[in-house]
Structure 1
Amino acid sequence: MPNKALEEKLILIVLDGCRYDTAIEQMGVMNHFVEHQQATLIKVIAEMPSNSRPLYEVLGTGVPSYRNGILTNGHVRRSQEISLFDLVKQAGGKTGAAAYYWQSELFNEAPYDITRHRIQHDENKAIQHGIFYSEDGYPDSHVFADANYLIQTYTPNFMLIHSMNIDDIGHKFTADSREYAAAVNHVDTILGMCLPEWLQLGYQILVTADHGMDNKGLHGGSLAAHREVPLFIFSTKFPENSGIRQMNQLEVAPLICNLLGIEASDKMQIGNTRGQQS
């Protein structure tokens, strides 16, 4: 008997390399929504190692690196865990992604081949509708345009949008640079153009980052600059005045399940929220 179609819809936006304090300082659109109680802001403490591929896996599965086996950026293989994409499909929903190619390698097929995997439409895959890019300088504006096409055309219940320009600029110029601040400021403008329309379409939206960036242009370690990232939540299903000011990154995946109204996987880390009153 086929699954009943999933009704809820959610977009997860991952701004690669965006640290918490810079988001507070430079994201005027996002913080406007928070100030007017249209969104909630929570500080997320990223897992270690605070590198990209391990944290894509963490965000996608809610399973820590020592258990999922993705410990470095060099672990090029498909995830062996149950992902959010899998869970949405099991619940009768559709999935999509406009994202860096490592997401395709983790959740669809590895290794990535640009001639075969740049654009993917396959109902049997975890990410059923995907547009992937393989250059860190691929403009964020293009990533969001790719995402908008997939959203408007396929109406996925769970959509991943993953941009790389903040991380790319941070490595080149460090987090203590005008260029890094400008990259964060620029994506805030893009979000201001896209989010109102997607909210009108009935999407819940989460905006976060995998990791931050330090003043040497590095991440991967234990510094607050590496691990403290924002989480902006646009959802009427998330309680107002929850009192939660900080949470662990492992809790993002089960939170998404809760907002979508689907069951979390057995391995997802639930119930460790470090709630702090303001």
Structure 2
Amino acid sequence: MSNKVIAIVVDGMRYDKACESLGFIQHLVETNQAALYKVKSELPSLSRPLYEVLLTGTSVSMNGITSNQTVRLSTEKSLFHLTKENGLKNATASYYWVSELYNRAPFHFIEDREQEDESKPIQYGRFYWDDDYPDSHVLMDAEALRRKYDPHFLYIHPMGVDVKGEKYGSESKEYREQILKMGSLLAQLLPIWMKEGYHILITSDHGMSEYGNHGGTTDGERDVPLFVISPRVETGIHEEVVPQLAFAPIVCELLGIERTGKMTSYRLPGMKEMVYGG
């Protein structure tokens, strides 16, 4: 069984709108090819703190990344550090804040746009800084990295849904359209990745309020989806709400590496034991 993982974090995509709009992915759920969970995000429901939560499995009071204005390298071990330490390759196509958390802060817009250095936590990276950089380009940047470097862990982070949500609100035509576009883009890539045997996770950092903001405690701001396509996970809709702190240890399990001591020991409902041997 493969130990390669692709994780897509669609920034600002709330649970209910994802369930309504990601038609092909919901088809996979309906036909028992994918699992769906609801995740309750950590607080504050803001991007930079939650990138750190997703990638290190630590809470903001532990890691100190408490706001979007906390511009410094993380002091925690991320999934990038762990894959590198375990002799696995990693890559990402992400917003530049991810680079600032794990490779260098502040971000150098010329030198850090494209990164290829296996000695760094993020070994292969393509980073953007315009919030409206097209989601299609982010996904193709990631697919180019996958085809060139064949990473064990590929982290993909498009921003378009968040941009439309903040501008128009979660109940707007524009916000729903952007999630529909993301669904269409993923529908082109998921069959390729599934055929090649990747474990695939699709989630978000935070949701979005009807007023076009986030950072607070409402369900709209905190509830996000987690779709999992993997032979290790039972398909269908799971009722138990998953804590966001469980994301990093779930990825570790699918990669076949040990989680850090700071990560939760939470076990995803429907996760099957690894079977060894032929």
Shorter-chain TM band: over 0.9
Question: What SS does the corresponding residue of 2:224 show, helix, strand or coil?
Answer: strand
What is the aligned partner in structure 1 of residue 141 from structure 2?
A: 146
Tell me the residue number matched to 1:227: 222
Question: Where do 4+ consecutive residues of structure 1 move more than 4 Å?
Answer: 240-244, 272-275
1:176 and 2:180 equivalent? no
Aligned residues: 270
State the partner residue of 1:188: 183
- Deviation string 1:136-171 (CA, Å, 9 cap, x unpaired) is 100000000100100000000001000000000111
Residues 29 and 235 in structure 2, CA contact (< 8 A), matched pair in contact too? no
Q: Is the 8 A contact 2:14 2:208 kept in 1?
A: yes
Which residue of the partner structure matches residue 264 of structure 1? 259
Percent of aligned positions with the same letter in both sequences? 47
Calculate the aligned-residue CA RMSD, in Å: 1.6
Aligned residue for 1:4?
A: none
State the one-letter code of the partner of 1:52. S
Write the deviation string for residues 92-126 of structure 1: whole angstroms up to 9, x where unpaired: 10000000000000111110011100000001111
Q: Does 2:140 align with 1:157?
A: no
Distance 1:244 1:36 in 2: 18
Matched, 1:72 2:67: yes
Q: Deviations over 1:41-83 (max 9, x none)?
A: 0000000000000000000000000000000000001110011
Scaled by the length of structure 2, the TM-score of the pair is 0.94
For residues 31-46 of structure 1, what are the structure 2 equivalents within 5 Å?
Answer: 31-46=26-41
Distance 1:35 1:149, change over 3 A: same
Superposed CA deviations along residues 241-265 of structure 1, whole A, max 9, x for unmatched, are 6955320000010011111111000
- The corresponding residue for 2:112 is 117
Give the Å deviation of 1:89: 1.0
Q: What residue ranges of structure 2 are gaps of 5+ in the alignment?
A: 271-278
Letter in 1 for 2:60: S
- Which runs of 5 or more structure 1 residues have no equivalent in the other structure? 1-6
Matched, 1:199 2:199: no
CA distance in 2, matches of 1:158, 1:110: 22
> In structure 2, the residue corresponding to 1:198 is in which secondary structure?
helix
* SS of structure 2 residue aligned to 1:151: helix
Mapped contact 1:248–1:274 kept (Cα < 8 A): no
Q: Deviations over 1:9-53 (max 9, x none)?
A: 001100000000000111101100000010000000000000000
Q: Give 3-state SS (helix, strand or coil) of 2:179's partner.
A: helix
The TM-score normalised by the length of structure 1 is 0.94
User: Larger deviation: 241-250 or 89-98?
Assistant: 241-250
